[in-house]
Amino acid sequence: GAVVSQHPSRVICKSGTSVKIECRSLDFQATTMFWYRQFPKQSLMLMATSNEGSKATYEQGVEKDKFLINHASLTLSTLTVTSAHPEDSSFYICSASRGGYTFGSGTRLTVV
Amino acid sequence: KQEVTQIPAALSVPEGENLVLNCSFTDSAIYNLQWFRQDPGKGLTSLLLIQSSQREQTSGRLNASLDKSSGRSTLYIAASQPGDSATYLCAVRPAKAGGTSYGKLTFGQGTILTVHP
């Protein structure tokens, strides 16, 4: 079946630094990938839609300059949290569409 | 705007019980509906995908039904086990191609299931 690999699974960074999260579709090509954010005990909130070779489409209220998304190939999309602050601490999950949706295992970001 | 609601928010049952989790959505123009399982601190695992033209899907002890016209889906878990303990999420995909919401899933808040021995 379709597999999406997301790395790292956990990251702790200092306030003001940047963190990059990778999302790879291992056995299929994903023209579209989605990035979600999940707060504790809450559902997933879509942050942006990433299309290969074009700029990402951000949801209302999501700062595109803070959350940089790159989808340079059909199997890789990255999310970079720039100048991270404690309020950016959250669980970030990517997914790739292939009929249904396959999700990565998520990244727990803690900004200290 | 599509809204997805899941009831109950939490459920705690003894092992062996048959369970029903409910999901309702406000806009019946959906392409499909998907049920996911999420373990604490983990990503989502797809359980069942029901296309808008289908009424139900089954996988092992899981059965999901879809009544698109009334905006409802149920996930039935037979003979529950402690290993079924997790958060169950339903998500709908809109049917309208070309719009800004195309391809975007709308999730419910989830049902936290605890099955105790």
Mean pLDDT over B84-104 rounds to: 80
Looking at the complex, report in whole angstroms how far the Cα of residue B38 sits from the nearest Cα belonging to chain A: 10
DSSP per residue over B12-68, as a string? EEETT--EEEEEEES---EEEEEEEEE-TTS-EEEEEEEETT-SEEEETTEEEEEET
CB pair distance less than 8 Å for B41 and A106: yes
CB pair distance less than 8 Å for A101 and B41: no
User: What mean pLDDT, rounded, does chain B reach?
Assistant: 92
Contacts of A103 in chain B (CB under 8 A): 36, 43-46
List, run by run, the mean pLDDT of 10-residue segments along chain A (112 residues).
Answer: 91 97 90 90 89 87 94 90 96 85 93 96
Q: Best interface-test mutation with B: which of A9, A38, A43, A108 has the largest number of B CBs within 10 A?
A: A43
Looking at the complex, report in whole angstroms how far the Cα of residue A15 sits from the nearest Cα belonging to chain B: 22
β B62-67/A10-13 pair status: unpaired
